[in-house]
């Protein structure tokens, strides 16, 4: 049964994530890179992609928070909360770029947060090996979205590109860390279900 302080941390994390309040703050990878000229349709497209990536990071936070909440021991709980805190920069960088592109974050983020938290908690309850294996698979799927987005961004949009490249680099590292920490490979059906859900997320977050 989770402790009352875990409940408080969990609520605090949810509020911070959905309102964009974070303590962590490494420099934005796009700092110092000049704004490119974008047509209206290019700007909208870049914003759509950045909105998907922002929602992906909301889901990542929620998964980690859910995994920490239901983790079997304190070591794994700390691992998940530490990873989530590190990832908070990803969320901030995407949000800032969306502001620059005169766009907004997805209106469905609270729903995605709630759903991802439940999925994360289920992974956490399944035991440490599965919990870490879930991190590995999540990070790999995020990486493959980022690969696609890096191809699709308007060619001259260097500011968005360096942000996504930096995030991609770190997601690969997160997957490796989770493998080394003992992540088990997930069953194919789970991987397919995760892809299905993230497909729904990417299609909707691009638009709303
Ligand atoms: Fe991330
Ligand atoms: Fe990550």
Instruction: Give residue 66's pLDDT.
Output: 93
Distance 140 CA to ligand 2 centre (A): 9
CA of 106 to the centre of ligand 2 (A): 20
**CA of residue 154 to ligand 2 center, whole Å:** 24
Dist. CA 34–CA 161, nearest whole Å: 12
pLDDT in tens, 140-195: 999 999 999 999 999 999 999 999 999 999 999 999 999 998 989 989 999 999 89
User: 81 C-alpha vs ligand 1 centroid, how far in Å?
Assistant: 13
CA distance 164 to 167: 5
Q: Please state the separation of Cα 89 from the chain's center in Å.
A: 10
Give me the number of domains the chain comprises: 1
Assess if residue 22 is contained within a domain.
no
| Residues 10-54: tens digit of each pLDDT | 888 887 888 877 666 888 999 989 888 999 999 999 999 999 999
Does residue 170 form part of some domain? yes
Q: How far is the CA of 182 from the centre of ligand 1 (A)?
A: 20
User: Percentage of the chain with pLDDT > 70?
Assistant: 98
Ligand index nearest the alpha carbon of residue 170 = 2
The pLDDT assigned to 24 comes to 63
- Under 8 Å between Cβ of 64 and 80: yes
- Supply the CATH number for residue 202's domain: 1.20.1260.10
Q: What is the distance in A from the centroid of ligand 2 to the CA of 42?
A: 27
Q: Kindly state whether residue 13 falls inside one of the protein's structural domains.
A: yes
Inside any domain, residue 126: yes
Structural domain boundaries, residue 11 = 4-17+38-207
> For 59-118, how does the pLDDT look when each residue is reduced to its tens digit (9 = 90+)?
999 999 999 999 888 988 998 898 888 889 999 999 999 999 999 999 999 999 999 999
Considering the domain boundaries, does residue 31 fall inside one?
no
């Amino acid at each position: 049964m989770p402790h009352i302080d875990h409940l408080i941390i969990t609520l605090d994390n949810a509020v911070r994530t959905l309102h964009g309040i974070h303590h962590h703050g490494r420099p934005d990878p796009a700092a110092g890179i000049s704004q490119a000229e974008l047509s209206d349709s290019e700007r909208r497209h870049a914003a759509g992609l950045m909105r998907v990536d922002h929602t992906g990071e909301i889901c990542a936070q929620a998964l980690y928070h859910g995994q920490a909440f239901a983790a079997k021991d304190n070591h794994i709980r700390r691992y998940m909360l530490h990873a989530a805190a590190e990832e908070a920069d990803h969320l901030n960088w995407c949000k800032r770029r969306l502001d620059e592109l005169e766009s907004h974050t997805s209106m469905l983020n609270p729903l995605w947060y709630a759903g991802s938290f439940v999925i994360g908690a289920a992974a956490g309850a399944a035991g440490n090996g599965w919990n870490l294996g879930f991190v590995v698979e999540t990070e790999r799927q995020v990486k493959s979205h980022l690969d696609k987005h890096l191809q699709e961004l308007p060619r001259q949009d260097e500011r968005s590109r360096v942000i996504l490249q930096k995030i991609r680099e770190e997601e690969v590292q997160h997957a490796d860390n989770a493998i080394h920490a003992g992540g088990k490979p997930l069953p194919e059906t789970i991987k397919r279900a995760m892809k299905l859900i993230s497909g729904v997320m990417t299609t909707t977050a691009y638009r709303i």
